[in-house]
Structure 1
């Protein structure tokens, strides 16, 4: 049975919603979807000032966990 598919924008929106609930993330984090064959994961990016803010490492760690969870539920469209 195949998994439902979501666009990259939908997956990123889902991740941002989860992060708001579970982590105190600094503004300025850029989330992208990176594909590897049939799988995918989130990547976080930010400028140096955002990376230096409190909570950034915890936010990235939470994003990885969210990506693992969503990656088992959804494929990426396109």
Structure 2
């Protein structure tokens, strides 16, 4: 049985909503969806000033956990 598909934008919106609930993330973090064969993961990027802000490493770690959870539930739509 295949998983339901969501667009990258939908998955990123879901991740941002989860991050707002669980972490105090600095503005400026860019989230993208990276496909890896049959699976996918989130990737975070930001400029140096944003990376240096308090909470950024924790937000990236939380994003990885959220991505692991969502990747088990959803595929990325083409």
Please give the range of the TM-score, normalised by the shorter of the 2 chains. Answer: over 0.9
Query: Paired residue for 1:49?
Result: 49
Note the aligned Cα RMSD (angstroms): 0.3
- TM score, norm. by length of structure 1: 0.99
Deviating above 4 A after TM superposition, structure 1's stretches of 4 or more consecutive aligned residues are none
Query: Paired residue for 2:62?
Result: 62
In structure 1, distance between residues paired with 2:6 and 2:38: 13
SS in 1 for 2:16: helix
- TM score, norm. by length of structure 2: 0.99
Identify unmatched segments of 5+ residues in structure 2: none
In structure 2, distance between residues paired with 1:38 and 1:9: 18
Q: How does 1:1-78 map to 2 (within 5 A)?
A: 1-78=1-78
